[in-house]
Amino acid sequence: MLHTKGLTKKYRTKVAIDHIDLDIHQGDIFGLIGPKGAGKTTFFNIITGISRPTSGTFIMMNMTSLKKVRHHIGVLPEYSDLYEGLTAIEHIAYLSKITGTRQKTSYYEELLEFVGLHRYHQEKVGAFTPGMKKRLGMAQAIAHQPDFILLDEPFADIDADSILHIQRVIESLKFEGKTVFLTADESRFTQPICTKTAFISEGKIVSSSTHPQEKTITSSTIRATFKHAWIDDEVKPVLTQYLQSVGTDLVIRDDETSLLIRSEAQVPAIIRAFVKCKVDLYRVTAQDAMMST
Amino acid sequence: MNEFKQLFKSTKSILTIVIIFILSTFVSSLPFIAAYQGKWEQAKDPYSIGNELVMSLFGFFLIFLLSHDILSREIHLKTIRFLVSKTTRLNIVIGKYLGLMLFWLSCIMTTYILNMVISHRFLFSDALKILTFISVGISCALFLSMLFPTPQKSMFVGMLFSFLFPIMSMMSVLSSERLIHWFQYVTPYYYARWSEPLTYVLMNAALTVVLLVGTALLFQRRDV
């Protein structure tokens, strides 16, 4: 379904993604997980035609041109707003018309029911909560019944009810044999639904695809230990959230933090996270977790 | 089509028609119009002269007032990402252009029909000339909206442009100063002086195409 080779995006002073090679096959529910600023959205934007790569290539559905696959893919981009002056039904109808797949109003009503918005189909989108907007975004992505659905941060900043609805929609897409690619900050919401996961950090894939059902993240083999100064209460939650997203079995003490990681390549990014949070580091060790036990 | 609906459903369409109609009726009643009416080959109807003068003076201002952020707003709000993932960028530019053209077509036709009620004549070729002039204005709005992709910047630049462009164009047409004289060839005002209406329409169409292609190329190069 998607094959990327050496996909790279450079801005003036920053490399957003660095030589990313990924393969997503028919029927995969593929999650690209990584902290904010890791390069997930940049990667997503490139494969959906929102931005262009600096170098590298990708093939989607065996076609090199996005023009030809547009009708076969459904995209939920990262966004801050929808067309607030339109109602939910008008919104889906408008975007479907652009795809050239206008359907009957009753079909859109069913679609809104599917994402749990049936009571709001005549409401203006401007009055929607972020979770409702995300569900509407999901509905427009699948309105033309695409084979490959790409979702950028479908679980970000939304209520629990909306998370459940979106998970349910992805589950039913999985049941229909569709292919889904999604990105997320952490694997909490993606683990129950994804069949494959890749982790991205600082623009690089730090672990190749895994099948959570067969091989979970707890199969990490390296325990990284960071001896550090006192962590300020203000930055502690941010740092904790970041560390939880890159590793498992996190233990934070006043002067020492340890976690299980998948690769030594993750260590520099974690050090940078400590530095960014203005936490002085005294010693870093990384050793095989199996040997240490 | 969304642009057309948004503009047409709001009071903007009524206000635009009222402004153009009142101004053109006022201008057509001015004594100098009657005096020169016979000399102006194209505009044999005072209301048509009024419409042309009003659009020449305030057309760019009205177009930019309504559509300065036609693309920049969507880029800023990131709603453009929905469109970009569904169709080509060229299609988006053409769609926006056609939506705005449809709105102005409705406004101008309504104004000419209102004029017709008074003058009992419908000057189709004059209406077409004004529409091609508007077409250049809309293309300029699209181009600048892509060049300055935040609503604040596009509003500032757009408003400034809508004031300066007509002034500079008229100066370049009337002046023999070489420094400014060349500018006349890139303005619709220059071609308006030509007696052949078809030339005016074609030149405006060519300017429109150049600006739309420029907008599409800029869009193509931009990450949204």
Q: What is the CATH number of the domain that holds A62?
A: 3.40.50.300
Residue A217 has pLDDT above 50, yes or no: no
Q: What is the pLDDT averaged over residues A49-74?
A: 87
Question: How many cross-chain Cβ pairs, A to B, lie less than 8 Å apart?
Answer: 57
pTM over 0.80: no
Give the C-alpha separation, B49 to B130, whole Å.
11
Q: Which of A65, A76, A84, A95 to mutate to test the interface with B (most CBs of B within 10 A)?
A: A95
Tokens of B123: 């000057």
pLDDT of A211 over the 60 cut: no
Q: Are residues A76 and A202 in the same domain?
A: yes
Report the C-alpha gap between A143 and A269 in whole angstroms. Answer: 39
Contacts 24+ apart (CB under 8 A), B50-53: B50/B23, B50/B24, B50/B25, B50/B26, B51/B20, B51/B24, B51/B108, B51/B111, B51/B112, B51/B115, B51/B126, B51/B130, B52/B126, B52/B129, B52/B130, B52/B192, B53/B24, B53/B27
When mean pLDDT is compared over A76-90, A231-245, A266-280, B152-166, the highest value belongs to B152-166
- Nearest-Cα distance to chain A for B156, in Å, is 23
Residue A223 has pLDDT above 90, yes or no: no
**DSSP helix/strand/coil, A288:** strand
Say whether both A231 and A194 belong to one domain: no
Q: Which of A51, A77, A97 sits opposite B82 (nearest CB)?
A: A77
Query: Domain end: A167, A187, A210, which one?
Result: A210
3-state DSSP call for residue A226?
strand
**Predicted local distance difference test score (pLDDT) of residue A188:** 77
Residues in chain A with CB shorter than 8 Å from the CB of B87 are 70, 98-99
Identify the pLDDT of residue A80: 62
| Residue A196 to residue A31: CA distance in whole angstroms | 6
Residue A261 is part of which domain span? 220-292
HSE toward the beta carbon, residue A181, CA cutoff 13 A:
27
Q: Enter the ipTM.
A: 0.74
Residue spans of alpha helices (H) in chain A: 40-47, 66-69, 88-99, 105-114, 130-142, 160-175, 236-246, 267-276, 289-292
Total domains present in chain B: 1
Q: Is A192 helix (H, G, I), strand (E, B) or coil?
A: coil
Nearest CB to B223: which of A52, A75, A82? A52
* pLDDT of res. B194: 67
Last residue of a domain, one of A147, A176, A210: A210
The domain boundary, picked from A182, A210, A238, lies at A210
Count of domains for chain A: 2
The whole-number pLDDT of residue A208 equals 60
pLDDT reading at A4 higher than 70:
yes
Identify whether the C-beta of residue A131 lies closer than 8 Å to the C-beta of residue A159.
Answer: yes
A134 & A250 share domain:
no
Please count the residues of chain A. Answer: 293
In which domain, by residue range, is B43 found? 2-221
Nearest CA in chain B to A83: B79
pLDDT of residue A7: 92
Residue A208: CB atoms within 10 Å: 14
- A29 and A132 belong to one structural domain: yes
Strand A179-184 to A196-201 pairing: unpaired
B98, burial (CB in 10 Å: exposed 0-12, middle 13-18, buried 19+): middle
Q: Which residues of A124-134 are buried (b: 16+ CB within 10 A; e: fewer)?
A: ebeebeebbbb
Amino acid (1-letter code) at residue A256: E
Q: Is residue A161 located within the same domain as residue A224?
A: no
CB of A80 less than 8 A from some CB of B = yes
Q: Which of B2, B78, B85 sits opposite A94 (nearest CB)?
A: B2
Percent of chain A, pLDDT > 70?
93
Whether residues B85 and A51 touch (CB distance < 8 A) is answered with no
pLDDT tens for chain B, residues 1 to 224: 677 777 777 777 788 888 887 877 777 777 766 666 555 554 457 777 778 888 888 889 999 998 888 899 999 988 899 999 889 999 999 999 999 999 999 888 888 888 788 777 777 778 888 899 999 999 999 999 999 988 899 999 999 999 999 999 888 888 888 778 888 888 888 877 666 777 888 888 999 999 999 999 999 988 88
CB nearest to B81's CB, from A77, A83, A86 = A77
Kindly list the residues from chain B whose CB atom is less than 8 angstroms away from the CB atom of residue A82. Answer: 79, 82
Report CB contact under 8 Å: B79, A70: no
Q: Give residue A186's pLDDT.
A: 80
> How far apart are alpha carbons B59 and B65 in whole angstroms?
10
Q: How far is CA A202 from the centre of its chain?
A: 14
| CA of B103 vs chain A CAs: smallest distance (Å) | 18
Model confidence over A135-158: pLDDT tens digits?
A: 999 999 999 889 999 999 999 888
Residue at A215 is within a domain: no
User: Are residues A134 and A28 part of one domain?
Assistant: yes
The CATH number given to whatever domain includes residue A253 is: 3.30.70.980
Whether residues A274 and A138 share a domain: the answer is no
What was the pLDDT predicted at A193? 87
CA B224 to centroid of chain Cα atoms = 26
Residues 6+ apart with CB under 8 A from B57: B166
- Which of B1, B81, B86 comes nearest A79 by C-beta? B81
CA end-to-end distance (rounded Å), chain A: 41
- Do B61 and B163 contact (CB within 8 A), yes or no? yes
Q: Which residues of A touch B73 (CB under 8 A)?
A: none
Residues A148 and A228 occupy one common structural domain = no
Q: Cβ contacts (< 8 Å) between A95 and chain B: which residues?
A: 82-83, 86
Q: B152 — contact with chain A (CB < 8 Å)?
A: no
Closest chain B CA to residue A79: B78
Local confidence band at A213 (pLDDT 50, 70, 90 cut-offs): very low
B residues 81-120 closer than 8 Å to A (CB): 81-88, 95
Q: Are residues A132 and A57 located together in one domain of the fold?
A: yes
**H-run or E-run covering B17:** helix B12-28
Contacts of A83 in chain B (CB under 8 A): 2, 79
